[in-house]
Amino acid sequence: MVKYPSGSLAAFRKPVTKKEEHATVRRSYKHRKGVNFSDRGMTLEQKINESNKYYLMEEIAVVHKKPTPIQIVKVDYPKRSKAVIREAYFRQASTTDYNGVYKGYYLDFEAKETRNKTNFPLKNFHDHQIFHLDECLKQQGICFTIIRFASLERYFVTPASFVIHAYREKDKSSMTLKEIESHSYEIKSGFRPTLPYLEAVDKLIADRKSE
């Protein structure tokens, strides 16, 4: 095939029909600047995990999801290269979802989400998680919960101290959205990182220093 000096093959192209032209326009359409659709459908855990990968790659922070302590009892091997766990149980109650280090501070936090629009049920927390967060706070750790209101697509970094107080308050079954708004730092879902929760952690650290 012979190309023209510009590298164009225009002389050999077939005439474009209206249908093909319409299809080309649809394929070349771009979403307006600043709008990101890449993280739609991701769970809160997936967003945090992706963010942690970014923070690690950029040497910003080292944060990992804690492994769940499981005792395997029975394993079958239907194939040499494939093992299937048939029976297992939790060796002990897990603490919180994530921990790590950032700017010399120990981080420990839980990730929770709800489809409620006006409140967050405190039953989503467990006694051992509240106890663990309280113990970490006593050691000067930066402890918090990332709460997602899935129906609203809103994300809050809520200090553990507020969550602990609400959990232990008598006859209190939930934290209202207004309470969370007043005691948290709201963050927006993004691209790199997917969920920039360290922006809120910086504010928690600043609050600690000002106390």
Q: Which residues are annotated as a binding site for Mg(2+)?
A: 95, 97, 110, 129
Q: How far apart (Å, rounded) are the C-alpha atoms in residues 74 and 79?
A: 15
Q: How far apart (Å, rounded) are the C-alpha atoms in residues 132 and 98?
A: 12
Structure tokens at 171: 């006859």
Binding residues: 95, 97, 110, 129
The SS3 call for residue 196 is: coil
Q: Is the peptide bond before 193 cis (omega within 30 degrees of 0)?
A: yes
* Cα three-residue angle 43-45-50, rounded to 5 degrees: 100
In single-letter form, the type of residue at position 66 comes to K
Provide the CA 103 distance to its chain's centre, in angstroms.
20
Residue 159: other Cβ atoms inside 10 A:
22
